[in-house]
């Protein structure tokens, strides 16, 4: 039973997350030859203030990128 853990920045719509999980499940079923009920996906959203690239949070990185 594949268990797929995904961490992403918070802020995507429920529709985007649902589509993403459906697509990941379908690819997993097709490539590993497992039934749908055997695929588990755990999606964890992380706030930008809690995600760091180097010494800066993603909130800081994105704020600096705005014109």
| Residue numbers annotated as active site | 2
Q: Which residues contact 21 (CB under 8 A, 6 or more apart)?
A: 41, 43
* Residue 35 to residues 9, 18, 21, Cα–Cα distance (Å): 29, 19, 15
């Amino acid at each position: 039973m594949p268990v797929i853990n995904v961490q992403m920045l918070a802020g995507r719509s429920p529709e985007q997350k649902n589509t993403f999980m459906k697509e990941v499940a379908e690819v997993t079923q097709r490539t590993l030859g497992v039934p749908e009920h055997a695929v588990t996906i755990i999606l964890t959203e992380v706030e930008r203030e809690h995600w760091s690239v180097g010494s800066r949070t993603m909130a800081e990185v994105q704020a600096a990128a705005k014109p």
